[in-house]
Structure 1
Amino acid sequence: MEKRKNFKKICFFCLGILCLFAKNKVTLASEKQSGLTLDVARRYYSVSTIKEYIDIIHQNKGTFLQLHLSDDENYALESKLLGQTTKHAIRTKNGAYLNVQTNRKFLSYKQIEELESYAKKKQVHLIPEIDTPAHAKAILQLVKNKYGEKKRESLRQAYTVNQIDYIKKENVLFIQSLYQEVVKQFPKSPYFHMGGDEFVAVDANNQQYIHYVNQMAKWAKKNKKILRLWNDGLLKEEIKQLNHSVEVTYWSYDGDKQNPKEVRQLRKERASLPDLLKNKIKVLNYNSYYLYLVPSKRTLPNYSSKQSLNFFKENWQLQDWDGADSTYQENNIASSHYLIGSSISIWSEESSPLSEEKIVQGTKPYINQYFQLVTSKD
């Protein structure tokens, strides 16, 4: 916040407090964490492009870049445990490493080290996200390639094609070994994101999943990391059992489902963002309506249009967490102290026709607008 003379500082402070109560806004957005989540699993981004996004975060005084490194389509990171190494890869003309078995590109140990050092210079935390138990098809494929079909089937949930069976103790230990390998590649980051979105629960009240998360929280503490996860598996009746060292990245109340019956059911069962705050669980707002960008030939021009930027500026603030309207939204957040930040996200599933340069330039105006909002709305 800009320095002012004592008298002006007092006046503005008092005015800010009055506005806070009058408009019911959360306190001091400038003190909150703010970042960008980049999907590098469903689309390869070069080291230079990732550095460009780190620069954008730094220029806007943001605090982190979350790398979504695994999904059904790809595991975008070198891994001795999974048998994906530079030794057995082809180096492409642009410097990327290509797994010849999966035909997908990945970032090497040395490239991550380079990105970590660069991010540290720019005062940006680089946060790895390895998604489990769902969206694990690529992990399971690499397991099959190295260890055989029997090992993959022992890891896989019996009635799914892309989910880890998180009840088995040996599977939890295997995933912890994978996570251990990843955190060694990101020693400078205080955070680790374990995924947790869009999975199929094995019991009605998700107690087994909460147990899985709590085991990962103990592992994270042992490794001096703060564990983060998506909100999907946190139900109203079970959140008190969640290890409160876990930080929740809240993207959607109902998973952005289209079926009205399913939407009603999910909203009845799932914990809302205010529910989590009331239970003193730290949350970051990843609102999928305002803060999710999915670049494609059709959508990319929207992210720099005056109409979209004005709509974003006029309608979103840190406390807005539930879609485009207030039909369900509880605007009165009781414990804003536990709303610790937010992130804008770039998801890559429709971006293949676009060059990296076009994606950066096309998303930059909207990203800049986001950072302006989170640092200016007190």
Structure 2
Amino acid sequence: MSYLISVAEPASLKIARRLKTVVERLFKQSVVVTQHEIGDLHLVQKETTAVIYKDRGIQVVASEKELLVVAAHALVREFLSELPLGETQVTYQQEQRILMIDMARKYFSKDILLRFIDSMSLAQFNYLQLHFSENEGFRIESEVAPEIVSEEHLTKDEIREIILYAQHAGIEIIPDFDSPGHLKQILRTHPEWQLQKKLADGTLEKDPAALNICDPAAVAFILSIYQEYAELFTDSTYFHIGGDEFVDFDQIEAYPELRAYAKATYGKAAEGIDTFVAYVNQLIAKVNEWGFVPRIWNDGFFRLNRGEQVPLAKNVEITYWTKWNQYMAPVTTFLEKEYTVINFNDNYFYYVLGENAGYSYPTYEKIMTQWTPEMYPQQQIVPQLTSQLPGVALAIWCDRPEAQETTIVWENMSYLLFAAMQKLTTPFADKQQIEKIMTTYFQ
């Protein structure tokens, strides 16, 4: 007999078709989708707390936005014989569950990215952030500046396929193009736009990765690239614009162009940090104008040893990844200033290839036994997960791209996704059970 997936509303048929694939792969049964009778899995769209009812079959009641992930939750637990009879409420302590992939330092093919999306959907993650520009590579076709693109890259048509596949899996893409730092790949072909640093002997040296944000032509060029990808990712809500590690913020005085520009533009009290904040504000305004919510990394803003004359714009969200430097603002600073903050906890969620920069690979066990959703980088604890703290994110950084093949990265990260998801809802599986899911689904 076939497994029957039924829907109460025609609007759920698209979700049912996605779940058909999940059932076929996990339970190895043929599946029929219908609207006309109650099936083995019955989907009901309702603006209410998500609930799973299990009797002779399974009924999932959830909002349109949550129906797919809650149904995936039900099927995964049913596959493991971990779904209890009766009513099970499903709530996620944070609505946004994000995976970021550094596809710039290391090439990730379309096929492996689709496999990541499958794992994310099973693990009930709902955002995929694609970091496609870095010092070592630029990995999406560009018509504005083809000279900056790495030899191995994805075409725009491949990106469109990835976006569509992700949408069917209930996952939204977040484009991620970092500036004004991390631009060595781009500035290699445009060295005239590299920022100059003053050395100890008084001579000037170009910084190969930092954009001269005092040069209107350089800024206009970078803005044209942002606009190109704003047009590609029109279905995305968020656009990550970077802003981290532009220069050593503790040594920003070593960049005389930034200081001179600040004083000429923003007054005698202004310093180089104000030139940086003003550039980021310009990006925020443009990205917002194009219809996105912009996001930035935390490390360059409201530093304890700086007094900015130019305030950071309010219509931006903060992805908080670290407080390794004593002068970096704590999470509470951004919360007090009423910014939305996403938890990119580098102590638990940074999967850095080659274990570079002192990082060690995160593990399923460490997340399950040591991390809690209230825990932010460097053991900062927030007392309550309010609407200002809507998400948590795992990140793959390819510092040493040759350290692991992409298939190994995918396999290892899949376990971490399941660990983080369970800590946001209800723990129900050990690593061996997750291995059973992975082996069955992807065999």
**TM-score, scaled to structure 1:** 0.75
Distance in structure 2 (CA, Å) of the matches to 1:58 and 1:309: 18
Query: Aligned partners of 2:245 and 2:184: how far apart in 1?
Result: 13
Deviations 1:247-273 (A, max 9, x none): 11111113xxxxxxxx3xxx23x2211
Runs of 5+ unmatched residues, structure 1: 6-27, 86-98, 145-151, 255-262
Q: Which secondary structure does the structure 2 equivalent of 1:217 belong to? A: helix
Corresponding letter in the other structure for 2:240: H
Q: Which one has more relative contact order, counting CA pairs under 8 Å at least 6 apart?
A: 1
1:121 and 1:196 map into 2 onto residues whose CA distance is 31
Structure-2 residue corresponding to 1:23: none
**Structure 1 letter corresponding to 2:335:** L
Residue 149 of structure 1 corresponds to: none
Which residue pairs with 2:88 in the alignment? none
Matching of residue 226 in structure 1 with residue 327 in structure 2: no
Q: State how 1:7-18 maps to structure 2 within 5 Å.
A: none
Residue 187 of structure 1, CA deviation: 1.4
1:319: which partner in 2? 374
Residues 270-317 of structure 1, C-alpha deviation per residue, up to 9 Å, x if partnerless? 2211110111001101011101012449999965xxxx4233212212
* Match 1:241 to one of 281, 303, 311: 311
Residue aligning to 1:40: 103
Change (3 A) 1:364 1:241: same
Contact residue 205 and residue 238 of structure 1 kept, 8 A:
no
Between the aligned residues of both structures, percent identity stands at 26
CA 335–153 in structure 1, closer or farther in 2 if over 3 Å, else same: same
* CA deviation vs aligned residue, 1:161-202 (integer Å, no higher than 9, x gap): 111112333322221111000111111111111111111144
Q: 2 CA distance for matches of 1:137 and 1:71?
A: 7
When the two chains are superposed, the root-mean-square deviation of aligned CA atoms in Å is: 2.8
Q: 1:366 to 1:281 in 2, by over 3 A?
A: same
- For residue 249 of structure 1, give the secondary structure of its aligned residue in structure 2: strand
| 3-state SS of 1:346 partner | strand
1:1-378 → structure 2 map (5 Å cutoff): 3=51, 29-84=92-147, 104-141=151-188, 144=189, 152-159=190-197, 160-200=207-247, 201=252, 202-203=258-259, 204=271, 206-236=273-303, 237-238=307-308, 241-254=311-324, 263=325, 267-268=326-327, 270-296=328-354, 308-323=363-378, 326=379, 329=380, 331-333=381-383, 336-376=386-426
In the alignment, is the contact (CA less than 8 A) between 1:78 and 1:84 conserved in 2? no
What is the CA–CA distance in structure 1 between the aligned matches of 2:171 and 2:223, rounded to whole Å? 26
AA at the equivalent of 2:194: R
Q: Distance in 1 between matches of 2:361 and 2:397?
A: 15
* SS of equivalent residue, structure 2 residue 143: coil
Quote how far apart the aligned CAs of 1:232 are: 1.6
Distance (whole Å) between structure 2 residues aligned to residue 278 and residue 315 of structure 1 = 27
What SS does the corresponding residue of 2:138 show, helix, strand or coil?
A: coil
Cα 1:60/1:215, change in 2 over 3 Å: same
After superposition, the Cα gap between the structure-2 partners of 1:353 and 1:252, relative to the gap in structure 1 and judged at 3 Å, is: closer
What CA distance in whole angstroms lies between the structure 2 residues aligned with 1:162 and 1:176? Answer: 17
Judging by fraction of residues, say which structure has more strand.
Answer: 2
> Does the CA-based 8 Å contact 1:297-1:354 persist in structure 2?
no
d(CA) in 2 for partners of 1:297, 1:229: 24
Contact 1:294 1:351 in 2 (8 A): no
Structure label with greater radius of gyration: 2
1:212 CA displacement: 1.0
Which residue of 2 is the match for residue 90 of structure 1?
none
Q: Deviations over 1:59-115 (max 9, x none)?
A: 222220001101111011111121259xxxxxxxxxxxxx6xx6x311111111111
Opposite residue 252 of structure 1, the aligned amino acid is T
CA distance in 2, matches of 1:319, 1:166: 37
Equivalenced residue count is 309
User: Is the CA contact (8 Å cut-off) linking 1:34 and 1:374 kept in structure 2?
Assistant: no
Change beyond 3 A, Cα 1:121–1:169: same
Aligned residues of 2:353 and 2:403 also touching (Cα < 8 A): no
Q: Structure 1 pair 289/223, CA: closer, same or farther in 2 (3 Å)?
A: same
Compared CA separation, residues 296 and 335, structure 1 to 2 (3 A)? closer
Q: 1:300 to 1:221 in 2, by over 3 A?
A: closer
Residues of 2 paired with 1:290 and 1:273: CA distance? 16
- C-alpha contact (below 8 Å) 2:101/2:131 kept by paired residues: yes
Partners of 1:301 and 1:355 in 2: how far apart?
Answer: 17
Q: What is the alpha-carbon distance in structure 2 between the residues aligned to residue 369 and residue 346 of structure 1? A: 16
Does structure 1 retain, via aligned residues, the 8 Å contact 2:278–2:310? Answer: no
160-169 vs 180-189, greater mean Cα deviation: 160-169
Aligned to 1:95: none
In 1: Cα distance, 2:376 partner to 2:196 partner: 34
Q: Is the 8 A contact 1:277 1:336 kept in 2?
A: no
Q: Which runs of 5+ in 2 are unaligned?
A: 1-48, 54-90, 198-206, 253-257, 260-270, 428-443
